[in-house]
Amino acid sequence: MTRTDKPKARTARGFRDRLGAEIAAERDMLARISEVYESWGFDPLDTPALEYTDALGKFLPDVDRPNDGVFSLQDDDEQWLSLRYDLTAPLARFVAENYDALPKPFRRYAVGPVWRNEKPGPGRYRQFTQCDADTVGAPAPFADAECIAMLAEAIEAAGVGRQDFIIRINDRNVLTGLLETIGLGGDDSAPQRLKVLRAMDKFTRLGDQGVRQLLGIGRKDESGDFTEGARLEDVDAERVITFMKSSAPTNVQSCSRLMELFEGRSAAGAKGVETLSAITELLKTAGYDESRVIIDLTIIRGLEYYTGPVFEAELLTAPLDEQGRPVRFGAIASGGRYDDLVRRFKGVEVPAVGVSVGVSRLLAALDFVRGRSLEERGPVVVLALEKDRMADYQAMAAELRRAGVRAEVYLGGAGMKAQLKYADKRGAPLAVIQGSDERARGEVTIKDLVLGARLAREIEDNVKWREGQAAQISVPRAQMVDAAKRIIEGDRAW
């Protein structure tokens, strides 16, 4: 193979490799969120990664991306398949396919990776993990209020303090009412309405100026890509911007302002206000006041299938990057009502509402906030110094595992120094050593790698280091497990 024939080892843009610490943290977070979902009466469901493209539908906001923002391929029977872009569209297909056999309402939660062909950003990947819960067959507002309350509990279970996040809610009917007041009602205006909503959905990220451009002729981003605008008149664009900035300090005040705007002018808008009022009143009674759930007219949700209340959870404090600039991760969780999604298959309206925690994004945000300190303790490494004693080393590792201690035997075939370096790279707390001398005495040496690393930073006198040997002890072979557990738990009284 010539040099030019060799493939370049690289990760595709927007994708990433992950190692043990992050995977373990995600596994733990998913377990805690799933436990919340199950405690609220939701059962698990798993659907395939690939769905027929027409079953998924075209609901993503990034229509300027290939395949309308999804990754697609054609099967050998010439039917198009797409990687699922969320866990909700496959749920709608499942419900339609099994409608008669399912209890109504149908309550399920799902965990798994999803894929979107969109531009990557901080904490924004083309493959990420979602953890959803949905109620299908229950109308607003009670199911929506329950969903929001459960989301708050799930976020806390994931490791975010109650005071560190807020859930912001809006209603798609309210947005429909706004668009009707600027003359964008009716089927003929559907394409332009969609462009307006997509522009509004970028308010938090782009601010006034960026959204004004998208409401007008369009906007060119930092990469030079141009997004065609909604081409509103300046006066209508100004009304949209003013609307998005008019959220009131309390939910009651926001509903009062909105009702004044829509009463007698938009039935859809008035319906949205009534729903928001009912949801926020239910939540307030349950202890979720404006410090936890607040009406925010900038919440749009880019997915087109939403038909009623929509909501997003975000961290209240933005972490800073190395240049001291705030890093925005976007919504760490979101959801909403989608009463028409199952209708695509059944021909009748089936009310539904759901919530999704973006676990990958939430992990990235928490990792950033904590100073990128995500660490996992590796296994105890039993050194293999004599090949003909491998069975003995495996027996030591097995004893440690039976006692609940992660352990492995070194299998690489290198010498003692290299084996200790391996243990360091694995993040091992201890190395267990038994050469011929230790075996003759009926002992093992346990090297405390955590303490050793700390002492190596603190002790500059090599003689003192060699004489002290403070980071290792020898114990009878029968006491190996107890000594190892005590050291791992921080008991170094030797």
The per-residue pLDDT for range 249-276, each reduced to its tens digit, is 999 999 999 999 998 899 999 999 999 9
Could you tell me the two tokens for 441? 């005495």
The CA angle 330-334-340, to the nearest 5 degrees, is 135
Q: Which residues pair with 337 in a beta bridge?
A: 353
Other beta carbons less than 10 A from residue 463's beta carbon: 8
Q: C-alpha distances in angstroms, 120 versus 203, 224, 318?
A: 18, 15, 19
For residue 376, give the 3-state DSSP assignment: coil
* Burial profile 266-289: b = 16 or more Cβ within 10 angstroms, e = fewer: bebbbbbbbbbbbbbebbbeeebe
If you compute the radius of gyration of the chain from its CA atoms, what whole number of angstroms results? Answer: 28
Bridge-based pairing of strands 333-337 and 226-228 is unpaired
For tokens 């569209």, what's the residue? 89
Q: C-alpha distances in angstroms, 150 versus 128, 169, 429?
A: 22, 14, 38
380-382 sheet: strands from edge to edge? 407-409, 380-382, 430-433, 443-448, 472-476
What is the H or E stretch that residue 228 is in? Answer: strand 226-228
How many residues comprise the chain? 494
Distance of CA 245 to the CA centre of its chain: 28
Phi, psi of 322 (to 5 degrees): -65, -20
Q: C-alpha distances in angstroms, 174 versus 90, 111, 120, 259?
A: 27, 31, 30, 10
What global pTM score does this model have? 0.80
Show Cβ contacts of residue 129 under 8 Å, excluding neighbours closer than 6 positions: 26, 30, 111, 112, 113, 114, 358, 359, 360
Cβ–Cβ under 8 Å, residues 471 and 447: yes
Phi, psi of 110 (to 5 degrees): -145, 145
Q: C-alpha distances in angstroms, 23 versus 360, 471, 482?
A: 10, 30, 29
Question: d(Cα 136, Cα 90) in Å, to the nearest integer?
Answer: 13
CA dihedral 90, 94, 97, 99 (to 10 degrees): -130
Cβ–Cβ under 8 Å, residues 412 and 441: no
For residue 351, give the 3-state DSSP assignment: coil
Could you tell me the two tokens for 326? 């705030």
Question: d(Cα 324, Cα 44) in Å, to the nearest integer?
Answer: 42
Could you tell me the two tokens for 200? 């509004």
For residue 221, give the 3-state DSSP assignment: coil
The percent of the chain in helix, strand and coil, each rounded to the nearest 5, is: 45, 20, 35
CA proximity to 342, closest of 42, 91, 61: 91
Cβ–Cβ under 8 Å, residues 108 and 43: yes
The residue type at 235:
V
Question: d(Cα 5, Cα 422) in Å, to the nearest integer?
Answer: 33
DSSP class per residue in 37-48: HHHTT-EE----
Q: Which residues of the chain have pLDDT under 50?
A: 372-374, 465, 468
For tokens 């955590």, what's the residue? 450
CA proximity to 134, closest of 164, 106, 168: 106
Show Cβ contacts of residue 162 under 8 Å, excluding neighbours closer than 6 positions: 152, 156, 292
Phi, psi of 56 (to 5 degrees): -70, -35
For residue 165, give the 3-state DSSP assignment: strand
Domains and CATH numbers, the chain: 20-369 (3.30.930.10), 380-488 (3.40.50.800)
Question: d(Cα 320, Cα 326) in Å, to the nearest integer?
Answer: 4
The residue type at 214:
L
Show Cβ contacts of residue 469 under 8 Å, excluding neighbours closer than 6 positions: none
Q: Is the dihedral of CA 337, 342, 343, 344 positive or negative?
A: positive
Could you tell me the two tokens for 166? 């807020």
